[in-house]
Amino acid sequence: MRPIRALLALAAVLIAAPARAEVPPPPGFADLVAAVQPAVVRIETLEHAATAPRGHGARLAQPSQDKAPPELLGAGSGFLIDAEGTVVTNHHVAGEAQRITVTLADGRDFPARLLGSDPATDIAVLRIEPPLGAPPLPFLRFAEGAPPRPGDWALVVGNPFGLGASVSLGIVSAQGRNLGGLAWGELIQTDAAINPGNSGGPLFDAAGRVAGVTTAIVTPTGGSVGIGFAVPAQVAAPVVTALAIEGRVRRGWLGLQAQAMTRELSRAMGGAPPQGALVDAVVPDGPAARAGLQPGDVVFALDGLPAVGPLAIAHGIALRPPGSTATLSVWRAGQERVVTALLADTPAPPPAAAAPPAAPEHRGYGLALGAITRAARTAQHLPPEMPGALVTRVTPGGTAEAAGLRAGDLILGIGSAAIRGPQEAAAALRAAGSAGVALRVLRGDAAIYVALPAPG
């Protein structure tokens, strides 16, 4: 009888307890999507196969009956940024197209003309012409201020696989991503689904502002695996303005090549700042050369603000117009100095050069050195009087290979001192202490520093 009384008492307590209130579900993004979706457009392009970029969503069309050259039909996304018909998309979607069609969210089609395109940021700007008397077009605004932080909401609207008006939701996964230098290594990474056909569309923040322009994905399958990238609004907005007004982007140019500093390089160079940009090469008679910068200098601040690496410096310089100045804080041979450079227009990049062949190896650091041959000078486009030593072979598993040296590299200097030939380079290596040395190396058309530790 006692257990039955206990059960009855428990039942009475449960019956008398007030009912638990239902927890409302978290608010969705339906209102935000309804507000922004009318300004997101579909873009179709037609271009010759021989010159067409390989953009997301492109497919090969059948050649016509009159044996005309094959053409590519490409598809992507974009968005309006004003009521007059200015459209933002990707360079790889529309930058090299012969014909461009923009389809609005309400189904209307318009031919578009290219106002300008910028491969460096993968941004293109188009213009459509609505008929006179048509209502103003819906448009979006770029977000201002700092880019979204990892963990913030991210919303993608676009036309994946040609489906049209598709929405995906995720978060910002990371900032400052680098894909081959695109947008100076400042891409936003997100796990919101970005698929072929989304390229050039907007990435929204939780307030419905355009936080970025979708540009690329990393995928082993051809579709989204949760690793997508967007050019942040802070990079895209000034590029869009320049393209819409002038049709091109004029960027300041300093005329140097640099690499990120490391602790190993800092020790090898005798206590240089472990952060910043190590100058690998200076273009003769360029702004950096005229300002007095030299290979081996470490740039650790730009206009008084710390420079965390070469990408940050490149971005800071590129945001300035030609003719402006940049103040650089520089470490050289144990001393700090400040130099001012007058920036010039960015020239076209030089063509890449082939590496010369390898030759027999030897011991020690695990590399063989020889004179720079005529074939190597021709392959590297080097002047006859240019001194240095040719790395003819790197021993597998040796110290040089572990440091990243390759056969065909040209050693131009050790630390800030130039090398006149292989004998001088070998002597400098034999005289190196336990901290190792920093080699200034020319590889292809790029000069870099390599920290070579002492043999174990």
Q: Which of 77, 92, 173, 280 is catalytic?
A: 92
Tokens of 361: 């190896």
Helix (H, G, I), strand (E, B) or coil at 221: coil
Closest by CA position to 170, among listed 219, 210, 203, 208: 203
152 catalytic? Reply is no
362 catalytic? Reply is no
| Cα atoms found within 13 Å of the Cα of residue 159, Cβ hemisphere only | 26
Which are the contacts of 399, defined by CB distance < 8 A and separation ≥ 6?
365, 366, 452, 453, 454, 455, 456
Is the dihedral angle over the CA atoms 254, 258, 261, 266 positive or is it negative?
A: negative
The CA angle 222-225-226, to the nearest 5 degrees, is 135
Report yes or no: 92 and 54 within 8 Å, Cβ to Cβ. yes
Beta strands in 245-297 (DSSP E): 252-253, 256-260, 277-282
| Cα atoms found within 13 Å of the Cα of residue 143, Cβ hemisphere only | 21
Q: Which of 199, 224, 266, 329 is catalytic?
A: 199
φ/ψ region of 290 (left if φ > 0, alpha if ψ in -120 to 50, else beta) reads alpha
199 catalytic? Reply is yes
Q: What does the alpha-carbon distance between residue 41 and residue 124 come to, in Å, rounded to a whole number?
A: 14
Q: Which of 122, 191, 205, 297 is catalytic?
A: 122
Q: Classify residue 451 as exposed, middle or buried by CB count within 10 Å of its CB (0-12, 13-18, 19+).
A: buried
Q: What does the alpha-carbon distance between residue 291 and residue 308 come to, in Å, rounded to a whole number?
A: 21
Phi and psi angles of residue 243, each rounded to the nearest 5 degrees, phi first: -65, -40
Closest by CA position to 278, among listed 391, 415, 186, 410: 415
Phi and psi angles of residue 253, each rounded to the nearest 5 degrees, phi first: -135, 130
Positions annotated as catalytic residues are: 92, 122, 199
